[in-house]
Amino acid sequence: MHKQLWKLHSWTGLICGLALLVIGLTGSILVFHQEITNTLYPQSTLNDNYSSKEDRLPLSQLTEIVENRFPDFWIRGWLFNHDPSNRDSAYVMKRGDDEWHLLYVDPYNGNVSEQPVPTNETLYGWFIDLHYTFFADHIGMGIVGIFALGFLFLSFTGIYLHRPFFKNLFRLRWGKSARIFCSDLHKAIGIGTVPVNFLLGLTGAYWNIAHLAHELIEHAGEEEHHAIEFEYSPYREQIGKLHSIAEETIPGYSLNYIYFPTKEEPIFYLYGQHEGAGVFRSLYGSHIWVPADSGEVTYSLDLRNAGLWAQIVDAFEPLHFGNFGGLLTKVLWCIAGLSPAALSISGTLIWWKRRRRKTPSALKV
């Protein structure tokens, strides 16, 4: 049993190694994507002057500025950044097209980026596509989900196979052979990062597989269609009231993202947090639906009143990205994200060294 499990662990690691290396490296970068983007493109992402939240321009005015500045585009989503030093993100789509673009908007004076940039050409968009889909859309998402399950299997089997290693958890025998050193390093990294790797593998696998299952079940047999643009001008006053509508529906509500209406679905979808949300709550767990024509709330979900499973799934976001404890946990998650790369390299070296050791010496002339 032990020998068969060892072989299965080794071959799973070899098969998943390269993919886990890519997933781990991109995940570590994504932990600090905002800081990296701010450093590389401060003129686009940072506000001209720091201000308090009370000085923000009304959303109705900001959306009008964007539409007047770029009449060939229409708004699809708005991501609020409540850090006074950072701009909001406006997601827009070119009329007659279905490709999402990104604009950064200073919510205190209305200054916007020079041009909308396709989201897959932004630093965050490029890395997120590689991390979650390998640039292969839904098929890639399913493949990444399978590799995440493989990562979970490697974590569990690694703990079982290396149980005695806990006696000398971080022993590295420098003076021994390269194979022994790689083996010690492999075990130390694997055992030391198991808790975080379990969370990363579990949450990543759930998101990808659940999303793929939803697409297959909910949209099986449906033809792909472009979203039909929605004319916002008659509803400008309605847009300006969304914050107050959200506050009245869920007192203390922090509105963090708005998915704007399309002609097929003329509804403002609001996503945010309830008052007093803890560190293990995502920014988008409480929802409010507001039809554009009536302005009357037709659906709301306060996460505090949701079921246990909904609250567990909502906690996946902070647990996956490690942003629940500030800079410390982000650094730890970034380092842990590098462990799949280290494990894949050290595991491959161990396998190669063992294979060479078993190779007959008859090859010598």
Could you please report the per-residue DSSP string of 88-105?
A: EEEEEEETT---EEEEEE
pLDDT average, residue stretch 78-99: 94
**Crossing angle of the two packed helices 178-192 and 194-218, in degrees rounded to 10:** 70
Mean pLDDT value of segment 47-67: 87
Given a cut of 50, whether residue 208 has pLDDT beyond it is yes
Among 225, 357, 250, 360, which Cα is nearest to 301's? 250
Phi, psi torsion values for 294, nearest 5 degrees: -95, -35
Closest CA relative to residue 238, chosen from 266, 264, 257:
266
Give the pTM: 0.85
* Weakest-pLDDT range from 32-41, 164-173, 179-188, 303-312: 164-173
What distance in Å separates the CA atoms of residue 292 and residue 261, rounded to the nearest whole number? Answer: 7
**Per-residue pLDDT band at 364 (split at 50, 70, 90):** very low
Lowest mean pLDDT among 179-183, 204-208, 252-256: 179-183
Q: Decide if 81 contacts 89 (C-beta within 8 A).
A: yes
pLDDT higher than threshold 90 for residue 310 = yes
| Cα(303)–Cα(280) distance, integer angstroms | 12
| Alpha carbons 286 and 257: distance in angstroms, whole number | 11
Banded pLDDT at 13 (limits 50, 70, 90):
confident
Residue in this structure with the two tokens 């560190």, named with its chain if needed: 279
DSSP per-residue letters across 323-354: GGGTHHHHHHHHHHHTHHHHHHHHHHHHHHHH
Query: Six-digit token pair at 58?
Result: 């009304």
Tell me which residue has tokens 């401060």: 42
Q: For all residues of the chain together, what is the average pLDDT? A: 86
Element (DSSP H or E) covering residue 117: strand 117-118
Task: Kindly report the length of the chain.
Answer: 365
Long-range interactions of 321-328: CB distance < 8 A, separation 24+: 321/30, 321/31, 322/31, 322/196, 323/31, 324/279, 324/280, 325/279
Cα 119 from Cα 321, distance rounded (Å): 20
Cα–Cα distance, 242 to 62 (Å, whole number): 13
Which strands, in side-by-side order, build the sheet including 73-79? Answer: 117-118, 100-105, 88-94, 73-79, 254-259, 267-273, 286-291, 299-301
Mean pLDDT score, 306-317: 96
List phi, psi (to 5°) of 86. Answer: -115, 150
Q: Which of the two residues, 336 and 64, has the higher pLDDT score?
A: 64
Residue 326, phi-psi category: left (phi > 0), alpha (psi -120 to 50), beta (remainder): left
* Pick from 119, 73, 74: nearest CA to 100: 119
Point out the least confidently predicted range of 46-60, 64-78, 112-126: 46-60
**pLDDT of 362 above 50:** no
- Residue 297 predicted with pLDDT over 70: yes
